[in-house]
Amino acid sequence: MVDDDTALAEMIGIVLTGDGFETSFCADGALAIDAWRVQKPDLVLLDLMLPGKDGIAICREIREESGVPIIMLTARSDTTDVVSGLEAGADDYMVKPFNPKELVARIRTRLRPLSPEGGKTLRVADVEIDVVAHEVRRGGETIALTPLEFELLVALASKPQQVFTREQLLEQVWGYHYKADTRLVNVHVQRLRSKVELDPDNPRVVMTVRGVGYRAGATA
């Protein structure tokens, strides 16, 4: 939990401890990366506005090394901060003031084990997905995805004939049961494409269905 507001950090700690999570805190952005390397947490709660180093930079640095789930905390939902945070690799974000139940639900969604549907191996275009081993390959080459990106790809690939609306993906991958910010889906589809597509401007794996949403590309 990286937040310079110690009262909030402590309170979140109380809530999460009550729900059976183990927490550790860092109040200074400059120290966050080191603390993360030492602690190796299962999930990072990251405030966007921090002294020392801002949340977006921290997020980007963590992403360079790991796919650990990151949930941003922000006081502003209307600024470009949210989009740049998501583009830096955050999986999800929560706008203050948030509901403790909502926070716990978000965390649980990000930490839940992926339940493999259908076969063990899925194919989309020229990409092969090994669901059990959490691996994505093109030819013999492994493509590194974060758990969220992997889940998004599996969601699409497991029903290749279905077109998913952004709302459906929000529900299935992020666990939102009500209307939420579709920017989450858009940004993560872009991130996923930048990794799995040979040409992200001309996608073959994650296809856009104009006016509806996304679907998996045809099997090559």
Partner 1 sequence: MSGTLGGRLLSLARRPMRAWRHSLLFRTVVIAAGATTVAIVIGTVWATLAIQSDLFDARKDQVLAETKRAVDFTQTSVNQQPTATDRAAIQQLGNSMLRNLAASSSTDLILGFPIAEVSTPDIPSAFNIYNIPLAEPMLTDGLREQVRTRPETQWYQSIALPGVDNRPVPGIVVGQQLEMPNVGFYEVYLAYPLDDVAETVRFVQGALWAMGLALVVIVGGIVWLVMRSIATPVSDVSRASARLAAGDLSARLEVTGENELATLARAFNRMADSLENQIRELAELSLVQQRFVSDVSHELRTPLTTIRLAAGVLHGEREGFDPITARSAELLYDQVARFEVLLADLLEISRYDAGSVELSLEEISMSDVAEQVAEALRQVAWEHDTELHFTGAVGDDVIPMDPRRVRRILRNLVGNAIEHGEEHPIDITVAQNETAVAVGVRDRGLGMRPEHAARVFDRFWRADPSRKRTLGGSGLGLAIALGDAKLHGGTIEVWSELGVGTHFVVTLPRGEQTIIEPPIRLEPLERIAPADGSAAGSSTRETLVVMHEPEDDA
Binding site for partner 1 (CB under 8 A): 5, 7-8, 11-12, 14-15, 18, 75-76, 78, 96-101, 177, 179
Q: How far apart are CA 12 and CA 22, in angstroms?
A: 11
Q: Which is nearer to partner 1, 6 or 219 (CB)?
A: 6
Smallest separation (angstroms) from partner 1 to the CB of 161: 25
Smallest separation (angstroms) from partner 1 to the CB of 63: 25
Q: Dig out the tokens for 202 from the structure.
A: 């001309």
Q: Which is nearer to partner 1, 75 or 198 (CB)?
A: 75
Q: Which is nearer to partner 1, 35 or 95 (CB)?
A: 95
Smallest separation (angstroms) from partner 1 to the CB of 79: 9
Q: Which is nearer to partner 1, 45 or 58 (CB)?
A: 45
Q: Which helix (H) or strand (E) holds 56?
A: helix 55-65
By three-state DSSP, how is residue 208 classified? strand
Smallest separation (angstroms) from partner 1 to the CB of 184: 14
Q: How far apart are CA 66 and CA 147, in angstroms?
A: 10
Contact 86, 80 (CB under 8 A): no
Q: How far apart are CA 81 and CA 68, in angstroms?
A: 20
